[in-house]
Structures are given as structure tokens and as C-alpha cells.
Structure 1
Amino acid sequence: MLFKNDLIRIPYTPDLTTGGIDYACRSLRYTYNRMGGSDAKRLRRIVGGIAVELAFRRHLGEQGIPFDVKGATPFTDPDKYDVSLGGHRCDLKSFMITRKKQISDLNRDLGLLLGASALIPSDQFVSAGHKNSDVYIFAFLTGLQAASQAEMAKASEAGNPLHLIHTMPKNWAKPDHWRSLGMLALKSDCEETLIVELGGQDAERQFLSKKITLKPRERMETEAGFHTLAYVHVDKMPGGQVGIHSPVLEETHLIAPHDWGNIWVYGMDVILAGFLTRKAFRQKARELPVGSRVYQYNRTRTKNLAVPIAELQPLNDLFEIVKDWKKHEE
């Protein structure tokens, strides 16, 4: 059973967002859009999820709780676990809360989270390779987003950071034939100079990025050797179109000002809620159909297994057990 005092609040720092953005961009080719929505929305979810993972690891280190990292999560397997506690692999499930009213209410009474649901997508839960002793840890991230054009403009005017990204269509990002895209050429109709970052894969399918200074109406070419181009990032909102040409595809892709999405997450707090072993979760869980309303979502977009947050076990209990295991090993 979980109580309000068992919830662990961790202050948010901007480096958690930058770490999440780096991962999201590198994993773009491989991640699965389970929940639907735009690419920018999907990337913001990934940014938020990685930010929570980084905050969790930081908390473990600061509290002297021994843990192992089983290698960075491969981008080809985004559901694979990273952290192991006492030899038990941990799967951190996080939920982002962005509605201002909810955030305000939680600032007054964090105990409202006890009415939320610990969710695991049904297809994830039945996938192979899990043990009954695996540990599911549930967490929340409170923070704001600037997703619409008006919100982005307002954030920019207020001096808040933006991370503007445009995801490329399938024939650029996931081509049917593996070959070089050729010498890419870029041109901008903007009045201002842009710093443009291209991200994709090289001939060996490794992540490749290249930054280019793009002056107004000047054609720039890059010999970076892209075989796929997953995204384009710019340092400021362009006032006009940006075009990218591939001689191999014989295509110029034009990006209008409204085609950029902002994936910066303006985090406030990470709240570590509680945990259950896989076996205990299965015993407590009920099926939640698509379209269900829960505290953190107006409607769920996937079929889930759900356990009330109040029925989780306190994380500090787990941390003390892990410390005790470590002492007996020494």
C-alpha cells in the first residue's frame, strides 16, 4: 500500500531535457509510435521518458543506492531495460502530466497522484524475455509543452528554449533501398542565418549528424554521406521555407515555417511513485480498454493493464532491500 509520504519528488533540471532530446533524435528511426499522434508529440514523450530515467539514476547515485546499468538501451530495442537493482532488472514506466490545472493541484497536494493508474501496454506485458522477479517502477513528470505555433512564439518571446525539429518522410528516413542519398543541398528563403543540423545514418547504419550554417538564399552542399535522413533541426524558427535536395532521390523536400515541431519539455518535477514485481503486477492488474479515462490521460490510446498507484509498494522499501543485499555481498 502506498501513502502520500512515500512519493519521492525530484526537482527538474534542464539537462534532463537535453539528454532526452539527444536520445530521441538518435532513436527516431527505431521507435514505435504506439500511442499515435504527430512525430513531434511522440518525440516529446520520448524526451520526457528519458528525462525521468536520468533523474531516477541521479537519485540512486545521490542516495548511495547501488545499481547496475546493463548497457545503454539499444535504439533498435527501445523497450529493453537499462537499470538493474540487486540483480533484478527494472523497467521504469513514466507518465507526463502537462495540464496546468492538474500541475497546480499537485503542487498543493501531491497525494492526488494516489488516484492515478500504473499502466503497462498489454502488448508490452506479454512480450517474451521477462521474469516474474522483474521490477516495474512507476513515475510521473510534471511539465509544460509549447506545441502549437502560438505557444512556440510565446515561449520564444519569453526567452524560453525551443528545440525545433522536422521529421523527414519515409523515402528519406526509411528507404526501401540502402544507398547514399548523394550530396545533399540546402537552401533557405529566410532573411536570417540558420544553424541547421541534419540527423540520419551513414553507410554502416550508424547515427550521423552534421551541422551547417545556412545563410539567406545561399545554396549549401554537404558531403556527410547520409544514407538516411531522419530529421532536420534548426536553431530558431525560420521565417521562410527551407529546402533539402537529394540528387539520388531526385527530390527537393520543402519545409514551411508551420512544419517545425518543438520537442523541448519544460519539466518541473519528477515524482517517483512506487514499484511492483512483474508477478505482483499481474496478480493485481485489470484490463483497461482503449479510450479509458485515467488521472493522467483524458483517454488511453492503447489497451493497457492497470493497477491503482495506491496499491504499489514504496520505493524506499525497495532501496533499503537493495542496500542490504549489497552489504551481504561485501
Structure 2
Amino acid sequence: MPSPADFLRLSYTPDLTEGGIEYALRSLATTYERGGVPPYGRLRRLVANIAVEIAFRRYLSQNNILYEVKAAAPFSDRDRFDVILGGRRCNIKSFLISHREQIRAIREDPAVLMDAPALVPSDSHAGDGHSYNDLYLFAFMSGLVASSPGDLKKAIEKKQPHHLVHVMPEAWSKPQSWVPLGALTLKSESAEELIVEISGQVEAREMRRVGVSIQPGVKVRLDEPFYSITSLHVNRLPDARLGIRCERMKETRIVAPHEWGNIWVYGMDIWMTGYATYEEMGQRATLLQPNARTFQYERTRVKNLALPVSKLKPMNRLFDKQNFDLG
């Protein structure tokens, strides 16, 4: 059983967010969004999850702890890797805490995390590819987001970093026919120059990014070998609409100023609270139904296996060479 003194606290640096954004944007080529639900909240959570994974690997390297990395899902997720410690795969489950009151409470007394549930989606746990002695590592990351127009405006005024993206619809990001989109035409109605970065896939389904400067009211044509376009990124919040079209589609995609999402996560602290084996999680956890309120979620969306943080094994046992059976 861990105590707050056993929690592993990892420092947070902006490059962790940058690494998370890089992965999150690449993931758009293979993930499907829920109808009617803006994707930007999911992307911010993914940015935070990847930031935690990078921070953990950095900690291992800085402390000369031997580990390997292996593809998490080689056929469906070629860009994501799990840490292997002592021959055991570590599946990190992390939770973004973005409410100021909770962030303050954790900083004042990390013991508030002891009663929080360590959650694993039950469908994921029941899926293929697990070994009985695989490890679940549970982390809570505190950090703010600037998702509302008001919060984004404040972040920009304070010259805080931000990353504005527009996720393209599936007709663009996952077209039914894998053929070239043809020449692209972009036009901005903003009063000043706009720098736009276009992300998508080429014929071999490799990701490609192309940047372009667009002057007010001037059409820009790009002859690039895109077969899909997953997202657009702009260097500043546009004050007017942006349009993009391709030769293969008749309709122009119009992006209004309010249709850009800020996926930057303003990370603060990462608390690695403990771990459990795959077998233990299946035997000791309780089943938590959807729509449950938990410490980390106002409402869960799926069934989860839940085990209190107080019932996990302390993180220091992962690194104890005299106790590497991890039992």
C-alpha cells in the first residue's frame, strides 16, 4: 500500500506538451470522433497522457534505470510505445486534473489522491494482447487548459503558449477512396497575414505537414500530394473566416474564428501514485458503471475497473533491484 510519501513527483516542462501535441495530431489519421462532440477535449487529454509517458521515460533515463520500449499496438498505433521494466510491459493510465480547486488541494496535501480511483476501461482490460503480469501504472497530472474563448483570450494577452487547430471532417481526414485530393486552394478573410500549417497523409499513409502564408483576400494554390487532410493549425487566432478546398471535392471547407480549438495543456505537476499487475486489476477492482462521478471525472463515459489508489503498490518497488518480481 502506498503512502503520499511514496508518490513519484515528476517535474513538468513545456516540451512535454509539445511532444503530446505532436502525437495527438498524428493520431487524427486513425481515430474516429464521436458524432456531435467537439474533438478538442479528447485531444487535450491525449496531449496530457503522452506528456506523462514522456516524463516517465525521462525520469528513468535520468536515474539510469534500465528499460526498453516496445510498440503499444503495432498495427493500429505505430507511433505509441510502452515502457518495459524487467520484462514487464508498463501501461500508464494518467488523468488530467484541470480544476483549480483540485490542483490547489493536491499541492497542499497529496494525500487527497489516496481515495481517488485508479481506473482502467473494462473493454480495454478485456481486450487482446495482455499478459497476466503486465503492469498498470497510475498517474495524476495537474494542469490548466484555455478552452473557452475567454480563457484563450486571457492566455493570448498574457503571451502564454497556445496551439490552435481545426480538426477536419472525416470526408477529408478519412476519405472512402484513397486517391489524390489534387491541388489545394486556401483563402483568408482576416485583416492580416495568416500562417497556416496543413497536416495530412500522402499515398503511403505517411504524415506530411506543409506551411503556407496567406495574405488577406488572396487565394493561394498548393500542389501537394495529399490523399487526406487531418487538421489545420494557425499561428494566431484568426479574426475572420478561412476557406480551403481541393480539386476532388466540390464543397469548400469554411472555418469560422470560433471553430479553432486550443489543445495546449499548461502542465504543472505529475504524480505517479502506484501500480497494479494486470491480474490484480482483474481480481481486486470493482466495476464502475458509466456516468459515475469520480475524483478525476465529472462523469465517466464507459465501464471502468476501479481500484483505490490506497490499494496500489508503491512506485519505489518498481525500481528496487532486490524485489524485481514486482509481486
Deviation at 1:31, TM superposition (A): 2.7
Matched, 1:17 2:17: yes
Post-superposition shift, 1:72?
A: 7.4
Residues 1:164 and 1:106: Cα distance change in structure 2 (over 3 Å):
same
Measured at CA, do residues 3 and 68 of structure 1 come closer, stay the same or move farther in structure 2, by a change above 3 Å?
A: same
Which residue does the alignment assign to 2:209? Answer: 209
> What residue number does 1:174 align with?
174
The CA deviation string for residues 250-296 of structure 1, in whole angstroms up to 9 with x for no partner, is: 22110000000000000000111101111111111100000111111
**1:1-330 equivalent positions in 2, closer than 5 A:** 1-33=1-33, 37-71=37-71, 76-77=76-77, 81-321=81-321
> CA 1:53 to 1:300, structure 2 compared with 1: closer, same or farther past 3 Å?
same
Partners of 1:30 and 1:76 within 8 A in 2: yes
Partners of 1:116 and 1:260 in 2: CA distance: 33
Q: Distance in 1 between matches of 2:169 and 2:250?
A: 14
- SS of residue paired to 2:129: coil
Residue by residue over 1:24-50, the C-alpha shift from the partner in whole angstroms, topping out at 9 and shown as x without a partner, is 111112135589942111111110000
- Alpha-carbon distance between aligned partners in 2 of 1:313 and 1:164, rounded to the nearest angstrom: 39
* TM-score computed with the length of structure 1 as normaliser: 0.94
Shift of 1:225: 1.0
Deviations 1:117-165 (A, max 9, x none): 1100011000011110101101011000000111111110011011000
Structure 2 gaps, min length 5: none
The amino acid of 2:181's aligned partner reads: L
CA distance in 2, matches of 1:146, 1:271: 22
Q: Secondary structure at the match of 1:239?
A: coil
Determine if contact 1:73/1:82 at 8 Å carries over to the other structure. no
Report the Cα offset of residue 244 of structure 1: 0.2
| 1:196 Cα offset (Å) | 0.5
Instruction: Please give the alpha-carbon distance, in whole angstroms, between the structure 2 residues aligned to 1:225 and 1:44.
Output: 29
Paired residues of 1:134 and 1:277 also in contact (CA < 8 A): yes
**TM-aligned CA distance change 1:256 to 1:221, over 3 Å:** same
Amino acid at match of 1:14: P
C-alpha separation in 2, matches of 1:36 and 1:315: 40
C-alpha contact (below 8 Å) 1:27/1:76 kept by paired residues: no
Q: What is the Cα deviation at residue 74 of structure 1?
A: 5.1
Q: 1:72 to 1:120 in 2, by over 3 A?
A: closer
Q: CA offsets per residue over residues 61-82 of structure 1, 9 Å max, x none?
A: 1122110011476582389752
Q: When the two structures are aligned, how many residues end up with a matched partner?
A: 325
Partner SS, residue 115 of structure 1: coil
Identity of aligned residues (%): 45
- In the other structure, the counterpart of 1:328 is none
Q: 1:37 to 1:323 in 2, by over 3 A?
A: farther
Q: What RMSD, in angstroms, separates the aligned Cα atoms of the two structures?
A: 2.0
Paired with 1:29 and 1:41, the residues of 2 have a C-alpha distance of 17
The one-letter amino acid paired with 1:225 is P
- The 3-state SS of whatever aligns with 2:133 is coil
Conserved? CA contact 1:8–1:273, under 8 Å: yes
Q: Matched residue of 2:166: which SS?
A: strand
Residues 92 and 139 in structure 1, CA contact (< 8 A), matched pair in contact too: yes
Distance 1:146 1:27, change over 3 A: same
Query: Stretches of 4+ moved more than 3 A in 1?
Result: 32-37, 71-75, 78-81, 321-325
Instruction: Report the CA distance between 1:216 and its aligned residue.
Output: 1.2
Confirm or deny: 8 A CA contact 1:198 1:233 kept in the other structure.
yes
Task: For structure 1, list consecutive stretches of 5 or more residues without a partner in the other structure.
Answer: 326-330
1:159 & 1:237 partners in 2: Cα distance? 13
Q: CA deviation at 1:321?
A: 3.4
